[in-house]
A and B are shown apart, each in its own frame.
Chain A
Amino acid sequence: MSEPMKPRDPDWEVKVRDSFARQSLMQTIGAKIAALTPGTCEIALPYRRDLCQQHGFLHAGITTTIADSAAGYAAFSLMPPGASVLTVEFKVNFMAPAKGERFLARGSVVRSGRALIIVETEVVAQDKGAETPIAEMLATMMCLENTPDRPED
């Protein structure tokens, strides 16, 4: 892996974990942050039968969901204090069926701009100790400065 990027917020780690914890969908599906550094975020999701498509594999929407959150939090880790993160767009290619015991979405920032952050996420399936790449995402995240990362009261 390349050199770690420099966070602009000394509280970047607490901020990211706190925001992730507020994503109710992540609790609903059982996803967790497995690794976090400035500019990278890895999300782990154990396989569950209630998150499947018609063939019993993980639904592509779930693969995309963890890829999107990994990308978003990789970007958010580099944002200044008081900012929040927003997904602008992404493209995903599906390379293999999402078949496995556990899935990992590894997001890493490719370019961190002031307003736009480009992030790449690789999703792999782990099965009996082996890892297979199942999807690749390229995403554009937006930094909303002076916008709190919590619901409005």
Chain B
Amino acid sequence: MSGAVSKAEPKPRDPDWDAKVRASFARQTFMHTIGAHIASLSPGRCEVELPFRHDLCQQHGYLHGGVITAIAANAAGYAAFSLMPANSSVLGVEYKINLLGIGEGERFFACGSVLKPGRTLSVVRAEVEALRGGVRHPVARMLATMMCMEGRPEPGLEVRA
């Protein structure tokens, strides 16, 4: 998806944005636990993919709303983090999610895109879709506020000036 989009891509403030985002994601043990990975990444946009698993379900055997929310929050958080300066870290302040359809599908895609990259607060939208029989169905829509903690890099991601 990167490159050939109609709207101008936001400009990352950290030349190492791609490596930084992937390294941070890799340190989230919960993403390993559920089997989620980054499917695509560009400045201001992050897509997280999760194959369906029977041990992540609610009482009807569909994907639990908490897991749907977790991948949406991560897609939102890393979309925001991709635009943050070096030596900063990202923090979720709040989000609102509407569940639009049941978590039924072979795999799930959460796509986060930054609406406003602020100096301290970024507003991010995330959409979750389920791939069911070759068709993508809407599952959830999130609006999130992410905070940039400047001068507080994640351990191992410090950059010397």
A23 with B64: CB separation less than 8 A: yes
A87 at the interface (CB under 8 A from B): yes
Contact-size category for B: 35 or more
Q: Which secondary structure characterizes the binding site on chain B?
A: mixed
CB contact under 8 A between A87 and B65, given known A24-B55, A55-B154 = yes
CB contact under 8 A between A22 and B59, given known A54-B28, A54-B154, A55-B154 = yes
CB contact under 8 A between A28 and B55, given known A49-B29, A52-B29, A91-B94 = yes
Interface size on A, residues (CB 8 A): 38
B96 with A51: CB separation less than 8 A: no
| A28-B35 Cα distance, complex, nearest whole Å | 13
In the bound complex, residues from chain B placing their C-beta under 8 Å from that of A91 are 94-97
Among B7-15, B38-46, B67-75, the one that faces the other chain is B67-75
CB contact under 8 A between A149 and B59, given known A24-B54, A64-B73, A68-B66 = yes
In the bound complex, residues from chain A placing their C-beta under 8 Å from that of B27 are 54
| A22-B55 Cα distance, complex, nearest whole Å | 10
Considering the complex, give the chain B residue whose CB is closest to the CB of A22.
Answer: B59
B60 with A150: CB separation less than 8 A: yes
A53 with B59: CB separation less than 8 A: no
CB contact under 8 A between A88 and B99, given known A23-B59, A25-B56 = yes
Question: In the complex, which of the residues A23, A51, A54, A65 contacts B69, with contact meaning CB atoms closer than 8 Å?
Answer: A65
B28 with A151: CB separation less than 8 A: no
A65 with B29: CB separation less than 8 A: no
Bitwise, B108-133 to A at CB < 8 A (1) or not (0) is 00000000000000000000000000
B24 at the interface (CB under 8 A from A): yes
| A117-B96 Cα distance, complex, nearest whole Å | 17
B70 with A61: CB separation less than 8 A: yes
Bitwise, A57-94 to B at CB < 8 A (1) or not (0) is 00111101110110000000000000010111111111
| A69-B29 Cα distance, complex, nearest whole Å | 22
A132 at the interface (CB under 8 A from B): no
Q: Which residues of B contact A (CB under 8 A)?
A: 24-25, 27-30, 32-33, 54-61, 64-67, 69-71, 73-74, 89, 91-99, 154-155
